[in-house]
Structure 1
Amino acid sequence: MRTETDSPPSIPPSPTRRRWLTGAVATGAVAAGAGWAWWRHSVGEMAPGANEAIWSQTFPGLAGQPAIEMAAFKGKPLLLNFWATWCPPCVEELPMLNQFYQAQRAKGWTVLGLAVDKEEAVARFLQRLPLTFPIAIAGMQGTALSRELGNSAGGLPFSVIYDKHGRVQHRKMGQLLASDLQNWASL
């Protein structure tokens, strides 16, 4: 016998309805993930005057090394890479950047790594993984600078490619691929 407090009998969803709901939830999850990935890896607009301002910047070198002036890099193609020792994709791409630098420097290219990190951590890291391209310490100022250059998410790694005239040709948020470097080498 049924009372007023009893819930009505439940009707199980049909297999068709269950599949439809499962598909809708999965599609929504994929769309949300794709949207987040797009936002995370998207490159925004550069702040007004950021491209001109970068060339007046000076960054501390590692202990015992002179400060690095950005103006010294004007006149040749430059791959400017924002990275940190605590960033796994950054660390993973550094050997490839080093190979790119060694292969392309005879053609006028240079690579500059701006570490968004502490000098002590970078020095310890470079003892384990020596790099032949110049490294400067940008510290937390590097995050603000990368945002001005269009890194809207403020994530790492972030790379900016300049032509020999000091103009931005490409920007990439996220880990570089060998194909990126191959495409950029012809600048």
Structure 2
Amino acid sequence: MTDPADSPPTHPAKPNQRRHLLVAAAGLGAAALGAGLAWRAGSPKPALAEAEQAFWAARFERPLAEEAASTSASSTWVAAADFRGKPLLLNFWATWCAPCVKELPELAQFHREFKNQGWQVLGLAVDSPAAVQAFLKKLPVDFPQAMAGTTGTTLTRSLGNAQGGLPFSVAFDADGRIIWRKLGATNAEELRLLGSSHRPG
């Protein structure tokens, strides 16, 4: 048996040795962190929420169905999936809703300012087709419109509008996830902030 007294004495690490040990430990930590970040970047994104999936699977009738039908049968419908892949500002409105009508020019301005940066705008009217047709003939807008119909309130609630009020706006990123909601009329300033802070890519 070896006598502890015969063992070579242990000496504390010299400053240079300590420095090398610290550098090595830091290197290992950085490598582990880098590997973790790489795994996270390469890992699949979480699945869309049920309400988001339901919206992207939906299609809506155009309000000017008679005019669209004269060009092609398929153009009488707007498929939400056609807007997937780029940011989308979705606005629920109605002809009888004064704040809705007031904000339409703000939404049209957002559409003009940010369409070249990848943003899309879609209006969904919670109204009757006849009322929307008459309204849009008098006051046309330059972004797509479709009918959410009388069940539109249920759709707005599923997307986060607990009160079911109008107007209600929802923004989706390019992956189809909700990134912003607003109950009540929007304004140009907050829409510009939305467009600038959530750009494609």
Common fold by TM > 0.5: yes
Deviations 1:36-62 (A, max 9, x none): xxxxxxxxxxxx610111100000012
Matched residue, 2:50: 49
Q: Secondary structure at the match of 1:68?
A: strand
Matched residue, 1:141: 151
Structure 2 residue 131 is matched with structure 1 residue 130: no
For residues 141 and 57 of structure 1, the distance between their equivalents in structure 2, rounded to whole angstroms, comes to: 13
- Shift, 1:179, TM fit: 2.0
Report if aligned partners of 2:86, 2:119 keep a CA contact under 8 Å in 1.
yes
For residues 127 and 60 of structure 1, the distance between their equivalents in structure 2, rounded to whole angstroms, comes to: 17
RMSD of aligned alpha carbons: 1.0
Q: Aligned residues, how many?
A: 140
Q: Secondary structure at the match of 2:165?
A: coil
Matched residue, 2:89: 79
Among 167, 176, 186, the residue aligned to 1:157: 167
Among 108, 116, 139, the residue aligned to 1:106: 116
Structure ID, larger Rg: 2
Q: What TM-score results when the alignment is normalised by the length of structure 1?
A: 0.73
Deviations 1:110-134 (A, max 9, x none): 1000000011111111111110100
Letter in 2 for 1:70: A
Q: What TM-score results when the alignment is normalised by the length of structure 2?
A: 0.68
Matched residue, 1:58: 59
Q: Secondary structure at the match of 1:172?
A: strand
Would you tell me which structure has more helix in proportion to its own residues?
Answer: 2
Identity %: 51
For structure 1, list consecutive stretches of 5 or more residues without a partner in the other structure.
Answer: 1-47
Letter in 1 for 2:56: W
- Shift, 1:102, TM fit: 1.2
Letter in 1 for 2:152: G
Deviations 1:78-111 (A, max 9, x none): 0000000000000000011011101111111110
Q: Which has the higher contact order (CA 8 A, sep 6+)?
A: 1
